Amino acid sequence: MIKNNKVGSVIAGVVFLVNVGAVHAGVPLNNVEGVGGIAFNPLAYTAGTPFDAQEKGAEGFSLKDVVNKPQFGIWRIRLNDVKADWTTAGVATTFFDRLEVSYGNETIAQSGANNIHKNNVGLKGLLLKENAADTKWVPALAVGAIYKDTTYAVTGNVDDQGYDYYVVATKLVPDLPRPVLLSGGVRSTDARSTGVYGFGTKRDLIGFGNVDVILPGDLAVGFEYQQGAQVTGWKNDDYYDVHAAWLANKNLTLVAAYVDTGKATGNSKVGLGDGFVLSAHYAF
C-alpha cells in the first residue's frame, strides 16, 4: 500500500487528434482502464477502426462486417511524491459499430510494498451517433459499465470486486478558429482509488469532462477533470491533467502530460501529488 495514502484517483493525461469533419486518427485512445476515452475518462466514441471495402473483399458476409480492427494503449505514470510507478496496458474493439468491448490491466509498484494488480473489463453501448439525423449539433451519446477487481488484500466492509456505470456525451465542434472536442458525463462508482484499494458499500455519483483543441502539425492539447468520489468514508481528491499529443502516423499516437491528483499528505481527501505521464497508442 502507498504509505499513509489510500490512493486517490491517479490520473494520466491524454490527448488525441481529430481530422476536421471526421472523428478518427487517435480518437478515442485506450484510457488507463482500457476503455475508449482519454486518460481516466471515457468518450462516447467507440474504439477500433472499421475494415474498409477492399479489406472485406467480395466473398459476402464475414467477421470483418461485424467487428472493428482492435487498438492498443500503454501508460507509464510516475508519481514522485509517493515514489510510485503506475503501468497499464489496454485493448479495445467494437462490434456492429455500436458495442465496444475492452480490457485493461494495471500494475502499481512502490518501493517497499507488494505490487498491486487491477483488471478492468468494459462494455460501452453507443446510443446515438454524432450528428445523427443529418444535424450538425447532436453529440455522440453512450452508456457503459466497467467490472473491476484488485489483488489488494481488502478487509472489513470492503470488497475486492466492483462496478462503475457511466453516461457520456462527446461532440467535435469544427467551426471555431481551431476544431475543439468537448466531452462530459457522470459516473456511478463504488471504487476506492479507482478500485486499486477495493470497493466500498456506498456508491457516489461524480462528474467528469474533457476539452481538447486540435492544432496544426498533427498536434493537440487539452485539459481533463474528474471529480473525486466519496465511498464508504473514503474521500478521493479531484484530479486534473494538461496534456499534449502527436500523431506520429495514421496508426501511432504519442502522449505526454502533467497530472495533479491532490496533496499526498496533510489533506482530508486522498491524493497522490503530481507527476508526469508518457503514453503510446496503436490502432490497426
SS3 275: strand
Report the chain's mean pLDDT, rounded to a whole number.
88
Q: What is the SS3 assignment for 174?
A: coil
Q: Which domains does the chain have, with CATH numbers?
A: 29-283 (2.40.160.40)
Q: Is the pLDDT of residue 244 over 90?
A: yes
Residue 283 C-alpha cell reads as 490502432
pLDDT for the residue numbered 21: 34
Which pLDDT band holds residue 174 (cuts at 50, 70, 90)? very high
pLDDT classification of 107: cutoffs 50, 70, 90: very high
**DSSP codes, 74-135:** EEEEEETTTTEEEEEEEEEEEETTTEEEEEEEEEEEETTS--EEEEEEEEEEEEE-TTGGG-
More confident residue, 83 or 130: 130
Between 215 and 57, whose confidence is greater?
Answer: 215
Is the pLDDT reported for residue 9 higher than 80? no
| 1/84 Cα distance (integer angstroms) | 10
pTM of full prediction above 0.75: yes
Nearest to 36 by CA among 67, 10, 78, 70: 70
pLDDT value of residue 26:
65
- The percentage of the chain sitting over the pLDDT mark of 90, rounded to a whole number, equals 70
Average the pLDDT over each of 106-120, 139-153, 158-172, 265-279 and give the range with the smallest value: 265-279
Cα–Cα dist 275/50, whole Å: 36
57: phi > 0 → left, psi -120 to 50 → alpha, else beta; which? left
The mean per-residue pLDDT over the stretch 128-137 comes to 94
Q: With a cut of 50, say whether residue 5 has pLDDT above it.
A: no
Q: Give residue-wise pLDDT tens across range 133-157.
A: 999 999 999 999 999 999 999 988 8
Residue pair 215/19 in contact (Cβ under 8 Å)? The answer is no
Please identify which residue in the block is written with the cell numbers 476536421. 20
Whether 270 contacts 262, CB under 8 Å: yes
Q: Is 229 helix (H, G, I), strand (E, B) or coil?
A: coil
- Residue 159 DSSP label: B
For the segment 52-63, what is each residue's pLDDT rounded down to a tens digit? Answer: 877 877 676 788
